[in-house]
Amino acid sequence: MATTGEMGDNRVVVGITGASGALYARRVIELLTAADVEVHLTVTAIGRRLLFDELDMTRVDPDALSGGRGAFVTVYNDNDLGAAIASGSFLSRGMIIVPATGNTVGAIAAGITNTLVQRAAVVTLKERRPLIIAHRETPLSHIDLLNMQRCDAAGAIITPLNPGFYLRPRTIDDLVDFMAGKLLDLLHVPHDLQTRWEEKVRE
Ligand SMILES: Cc1cc2nc3c(=O)[nH]c(=O)nc-3n(C[C@H](O)[C@H](O)[C@H](O)COP(=O)(O)O)c2cc1C
């Protein structure tokens, strides 16, 4: 990706939390690193469990999460609230939380920063950088909706992991790609996935 990097354009902060959908996180990281974007990654304690449950990953493995481009991935300890990404001085293109739990959304909505994912997200909002929250839960409670509304009002983009079917997906990978492409579009990171709708010509 052609960027100077001077304003952090070649860096994206990624948070993985303990919601179902680890496949989405892996695909997003693959695509970001394929675009030569540095991924600065933190995973909550339950997020690590989900990486194991859904991807058999016994540790946060930069190579396995990036299709072999682990050199582009820096992993931070989610308990380390003094890590670089906890500070607004760490310039970045923005942050994506994928998948995002209701728990983490609630914390961000309340300005609570008990994990590095939460702190980095609150800092991203404070610095007025894009914060993409790829939430996964259904159904939603009134509290979930209020928390999302607060995050939205503070500038976050709430993006439910909710793939469309108009491109006629045939595999789970197609569904994952649909969402991953949409998430990269929100960060203005280029990708080659055919995930955008084009009107069909009717006979
Ligand atoms: C197998 C499993 C799947 C879960 N899936 C979700 C989910 O899809 N969405 C959600 O909001 N919470 C989900 N949870 C609950 C969260 O992991 C829990 O609220 C936890 O406190 C979130 O912590 P975190 O936000 O720090 O990752 C799941 C938990 C487990 C064990």
User: For each of the chain's 203 residues, which pLDDT tens digit applies?
Assistant: 444 456 788 999 999 999 999 999 999 999 999 999 999 999 999 999 999 999 999 999 999 999 999 999 999 999 999 999 999 999 999 999 999 999 999 999 999 999 999 999 999 999 999 999 999 999 999 999 999 999 999 999 999 999 999 999 999 999 999 999 999 999 999 998 877 777 776 76
Q: What is the pTM of this model?
A: 0.95
Query: What are the tokens at 1?
Result: 């990706």
Separation of CA 98 and ligand 1 centre (Å): 12
The response to whether residue 113 sits with its C-beta less than 6 Å from ligand 1 reads no
| Contact residues for 8 (Cβ-Cβ < 8 A; gap 6+) | 90, 91, 92, 93
Separation of CA 134 and ligand 1 centre (Å): 13
Percent helix, strand and coil across the chain, each to the nearest 5: 40, 15, 45
Query: What are the tokens at 131?
Result: 């914060």
Sort residue 21 into left (φ over 0), alpha (ψ -120 to 50) or beta.
left
The response to whether residue 147 sits with its C-beta less than 6 Å from ligand 1 reads no
The domain covering 11-186 belongs, at the CATH homologous superfamily level, to Flavin prenyltransferase-like (3.40.50.1950)
In the block, residue with structure tokens 């709430």? 158
Q: Whose CA is nearest to atom 22 of ligand 1?
A: 18
Separation of CA 150 and ligand 1 centre (Å): 20
